[in-house]
Structure 1
Amino acid sequence: MNRVDFGRRVLVLRHGRIAVRVEQRSVVVCAVLTLAIAVLAVVALMTGSYHLGPGQVVAALTGGETGLVHDIVVDWRLPRVAAALLFGAALGVSGAIFQSMLRNPLADPGIIGFTEGSYTGALIVILVVDGTYAQLVGGALAGGMATALGVYLLAYRQGVQGFRLIVVGIGASGMLASLNVWLILKAELEQAMAAAAWGAGSLNGVSWDQVVIGGACIAVLLPASGLLSRPMRQMELGDEAATSQGVRVPPVRLGLVVVGVALTATVTAASGPIVFVSLVAPQIARRLARTAGITLAPAALVGALLCLAADYIAQHVAPTPLPVGIITVILGGGYLGRLLFTEARRRL
């Protein structure tokens, strides 16, 4: 029987009539990223005003510690670490979806306005309804979907090209940012201060309730993105090529937009807009795995690692505790500048 040479080592996983081909390098990269996440998570659980040893952290997580150590690890620090990992993974997958679908490394939900639209929806819920987290998720999802629909319609001209959608999205993001500032200025002082602090992107107020609700939403959305990953990769070749391979492009694109916006909205409702993670994570993952296109699993793990590392820097390395969104802006802004410079040199 002849073997197909894919140009690199692959693993073929079979279960009955179902076979999945996985590149060995991607498996190794995912394993290394998982180990790095585990180490950094333990370090984050150890670090604080009350320092703990690694043995105490592991014992508290496995039920071997009770009392103060258990309360510090499980009740106080673990929700923040879990939120950083879950939300970072969600942002990494969301960025991978839009960058793959639009075939552009600048296709980030924060840049093309979807994050800002989710922030607007959640902000209206905060200032007008003063709602629960579930209502915030609904408001953020409605705002993100409305923004996605508006950007899509404005960018449509005998089809949607990635570059045109990005340009329209940047304009929509600027207008929504102005609207958000106006909403905050018109609000009561106490509400405005809380909304402004939340809008910087922070994990300070995250509780187990938000982690459970947000984690449940993300647990549904991540498998949905996995089901769409194969047609998503086929669409990277172009709509006509994907259609010739049996992909129904319009419903697949709609499903990708819904999943990507929902992931962003879930994170925005819990912690405010944590920007640039969804821009940086897919590209770093692609370079580490050396894949032809963007793959979701490495992007999710890189996003989780970046978000956890940024939150650790914001809380324990910075001179004063900062919102995690400020650190991601610094890191992501530098990466965006490098990306724009690289793209400009490539076109010369």
Structure 2
Amino acid sequence: MINNNSVKFIMAGRRKRRRRWILVTGLLAGLAFILCWTMLLLGNTIYPVNEVIRVLLGEELNGVSFAVNTIRLPRMLTGLLAGFAFGIAGNTFQTMLRNPLASPDVIGITAGSSAAAVFCILILHTSGAVVSIASVIAGLATVLLIYIFSRGRTFSIGRLILVGIGIQAMLNALISYLLLVGAQQDIPAALRWLSGSLNGSQMHELPPLSVTVLIFAPIIIMLGKHLSMLELGEQMATSLGINTDKTRILLIVSAVTMIALATATTGPIAFVAFLSGPIAKRLVGVGLSNAIPAGLVGVNLVLAGDLIGQFAFDVRYPVGIITGILGAPYLLFLLIRMNRKGDL
């Protein structure tokens, strides 16, 4: 029987974890706020805060209005929405499959959406809604394909990851083929898109991504406790009263839709989905859902990466190049560690 001291100890630990969650989430949100404003202020010309605020409130100022409303604000909002989508979706897959390698950009889901988008750009010469719809369908089809090929007598997360990596290699080969046969005038646009970039972001491109994040991110957040229970394993989650099949379907559809729309809007920004969950988990700790912190980490990675790519070097680099440099060493580290543990 649990005595009062044990109850007090448990409650104290829970309050401590909650305070840490609130503090970390607040700091991540504050950092994202600072980065958003930095993106609005910095450029070829650095504008004062008061002028940017006046423009955002609807006032017309020569030079400032065009730079802020046409170039910087769409770029910032795109990075904000795409970063949150990549972060929360990546964390969903990693938690649900109980493996940090089970990220959409590692197991081929992002590659599936990318292949569909490149096909639309180079072969069908379409953009906008068609690319978005094709990306979502291809992302869901890739998930189904990975599941079919990874089935065996027993379910193995390691086998699923290896199958996903193989499918990603096949899809990358398909993308290379499309680049070879595509029209020469369309290839530069496709290559810029494949690098993962916020360049050329426009306000009219944001509604599909905005609606997707506003609909599906709350679903994942509300299922945060269920997702944490799925991390304990199938039997434990079922014994706690979770309908595992229904929960997984909701989580997969929500995560894949956000990943696909974010990929269709910005291109595959490398390793943001892969890094956000582990970073958030290390910052927040265990015991509470880290869906929101992971989304905020994704926002900070995308916005900070874009600022570094724009202003830290003599040549401007797309954000995907910067995040790729950060994520590649961590991926190699995980592969080596899991191989030593026998998880692969």
TM-score, normalization by structure 2: 0.92
Change (3 A) 1:229 1:88: same
1:328 correspondence with 2:323? yes
State the AA in 2 paired with 1:213.
P
Residues 1-348 of structure 1: pairs in structure 2 closer than 5 A: 5-6=10-11, 8-10=13-15, 23-63=18-58, 66-292=61-287, 295-343=290-338
Q: Structure 1: which 5+ residue stretches go unaligned?
A: 12-21
Distance 1:255 1:159 in 2: 23
Would you identify which runs of 4 or more consecutive aligned residues in structure 1 move more than 6 Å?
A: 345-348
1-structure distance, mates of 2:154, 2:23: 39
Question: What stretches of structure 2 of length at least 5 have no aligned partner?
Answer: none
Task: Work out whether residues 202 and 272 of structure 1, in 8 Å CA contact, stay in contact via their aligned partners in 2.
Answer: yes
Shift of 1:112: 0.2
Encode CA deviations 1:317-338: one digit per residue, 9 max, x unaligned.
1221111111111011122233
| Shift in Å, 1:6 | 4.2
Residues paired across the two proteins, number: 338
* Distance (whole Å) between structure 2 residues aligned to residue 66 and residue 299 of structure 1: 37
Q: Secondary structure at the match of 2:223?
A: helix
Letter in structure 2 aligned against 1:8: G
SS of the equivalent of 2:61 reads coil
The alignment partner of 1:8 has SS state of: helix
Shift of 1:202: 1.0
Query: What residue in structure 2 maps to residue 19 of structure 1?
Result: none
- Give the superposition deviation at 1:179: 0.7
Distance 1:344 1:6 in 2: 38
The letter for the 1-side match of 2:156 is Q
Higher relative contact order (CA 8 A, sep 6+): 2
Percentage of matched positions with identical amino acids = 35
**Inter-CA distance 262–323: structure 2 relative to 1 (3 Å threshold):** same
The range that moved more, 61-70 or 163-172, is 61-70
Larger mean Cα displacement after TM superposition, 30-39 or 111-120: 30-39
Instruction: Read off the aligned partner of 1:73 and give its amino acid letter.
Output: V
Name the aligned partner's letter for residue 55 of structure 2.
A
Quick one: distance in 2 between partners of 1:223 and 1:75?
Answer: 29
C-alpha distance in 2, partners of 1:276/1:294?
21
Retained in 2: the 8 A contact 1:98–1:109?
Answer: yes
Amino acid corresponding to residue 303 of structure 1 in structure 2? G
Q: Quick one: distance in 2 between partners of 1:211 and 1:100?
A: 28
In structure 2, the residue matched to 1:15 is none
Q: Post-superposition shift, 1:240?
A: 0.6
Residues 27, 64 of structure 1: alpha-carbon distance in 2 compared, 3 angstrom cutoff: farther
TM-score between the two structures when normalised by the length of structure 1: 0.91
Q: CA deviation at 1:339?
A: 3.3
How far apart are the structure 1 equivalents of 2:41 and 2:150? 49
Secondary structure of the 2:122 match is helix
The amino acid across from 2:334 in the alignment is L
Shift of 1:277: 0.4
* Aligned residues: CA RMSD: 2.2
CA-CA distance at 1:249 after TM superposition: 1.1
1:117-174 deviations in whole A, cap 9, x for unaligned?
A: 0011111221232223111110111111111100001111245322111010000000
